[in-house]
Copies of this chain bind each other. A is one copy, B any other.
């Protein structure tokens, strides 16, 4: 698959952003490529297009699949695996958010709770304990909000987004 200048720019930038977000550059590039391609590609095509080792593509695809961002499928009359990215951006967004939450936020919350529990038999005065509890509470609040928002039907989500700060009026009147 040949990349046009714009496609290349998009793919390269996505890779760059990926590495800032703790995502392997190649993984991000592959995801970008699959998203743009809009049709299933084989691992070989990907490797050739991006100029990376075949083995690297294999590993990256596995990771993308584990994140649920890429699906494996087969094309009739072809033995090779083909790969395709999610096309819906909201699905993509939540897939990423969900994974990051699970890998980063959830463990943090666990540790924070442990810290709160251990607080009693620790010499770090009440002030420190209060601070740690505050962080725990803050994270819990944020996560529980996210969990609820995530389940909203798509139209409600969009409405909420488009409403923006005007939400303030609604809040004021109702609660």
Contact = CB atoms under 8 A, between A and B. Distances in A.
Interface of A: 4-7, 9-10, 13, 17, 20-22, 35-36, 38, 87, 89, 93, 103-104, 108, 111-112, 114-115, 118-119, 122-124, 127-129, 131-132, 134-135, 138, 141-142, 144-145, 148-149, 151-153, 156, 159-165, 167-168, 170-172, 174-175
Contacts of A118: 5-6, 9
A119 B7 CA distance: 9
Contact of A6 (B119, B149, B175): B119
Given A9-B111, A20-B103, A114-B9, A174 B170 contact: yes
Contact of A38 (B13, B93, B127, B149): B127
Contacts of A103: 20
A21 B152 CA distance: 27
B138 A93 contact: yes
Given A4-B122, A6-B132, A89-B134, 7 more contacts: A6-B119, A17-B108, A35-B131, A35-B135, A93-B138, A149-B164, A167-B167
Contacts of A171: 156, 159-160, 163
